[in-house]
A and B are shown apart, each in its own frame.
Chain A
Amino acid sequence: ETGVTQSPTHLIKTRGQQVTLRCSSQSGHNTVSWYQQALGQGPQFIFQYYREEENGRGNFPPRFSGLQFPNYSSELNVNALELDDSALYLCASSLVQKETQYFGPGTRLLVL
């Protein structure tokens, strides 16, 4: 059974640019959630996708958007990057919306 995978592992961007992060869910899981984790903090919920539709969103601006594909993999897109967007971005998958979430290794984004 393959776990949650994320790409890339690290990324450096400059302010104002756009970024796309990718996530493959664990085998058999149809739900993907994205979290932002700033240094020294717990993860903060960005949004969740269930069967290709957004199912709940945290307190993040519209420049954070996402997609889920028919194979349940997902993308997180961030437009107009700001310095404060520098963080570890975590993807988690689960069987359904409120089941136990299993996390990937994360993508470390640095915005200069």
Chain B
Amino acid sequence: GQQLNQSPQSMFIQEGEDVSMNCTSSSIFNTWLWYKQDPGEGPVLLIALYKAGELTSNGRLTAQFGITRKDSFLNISASIPSDVGIYFCAGYHGSSNTGKLIFGQGTTLQVKP
């Protein structure tokens, strides 16, 4: 089925540490998107990836579209308290001809000052 497995489920880190989270699928995805969601708010787009192998940065955030098109990772360097939130990976399945975005289960990040 079209599922995204996101890990880890949660992280509790010290301010200043680097963070890494990833998303995997058993099937091919055409696009990978990474979003951050604060409680009670809508997801905010962090990084969009469109080609296999693509490596993109947005400030302290870096994400890569896996070569196999079945995975993606997001790194956050030198974490700060405002990085707290839930991070979701999402993507368009390779065989889909609709705009159905499939989401992972989310990674909850907590940062200790």
**Residues of A in contact with B (beta carbons under 8 Å apart):** 4, 6, 31, 33, 35, 41-45, 48, 50, 55-56, 58, 88, 90, 92, 94, 97-98, 100-106, 108
Contacts and interface: CB of A to CB of B under 8 A. Distances in A.
A35 B35 CA distance: 14
A85 B31 CA distance: 29
B100 A45 contact: yes
The 6 closest A-B pairs by CB, nearest first: A56-B98, A42-B103, A103-B42, A97-B99, A48-B99, A45-B100
Contacts of B96: 56, 98
Contacts of A43: 43, 88, 90, 101, 103
Contacts of A97: 98-99
Chain A residues touching B, majority SS: strand
Contacts of A92: 101
A26 to B, nearest CB: 11
Interface string B14-40: 000000000000000011010100001
A65 to B, nearest CB: 17
A42 B92 contact: no
B41 A106 contact: yes
Interface in B36-73: 40-45, 48
Interface footprint category on B: 20 to 34
Given A42-B88, A45-B100, A55-B98, A98 B30 contact: yes
Contacts of B48: 100
B75 interface: no
A103 B43 contact: yes
A31 B101 CA distance: 13
Contacts of A42: 88, 90, 103-106
A98 B92 contact: yes
Contact of B44 (A35, A50, A98, A103): A103
A97 B30 CA distance: 13
A66 B104 CA distance: 25
Contacts of B40: 88, 106, 108
Nearest to B35: A103
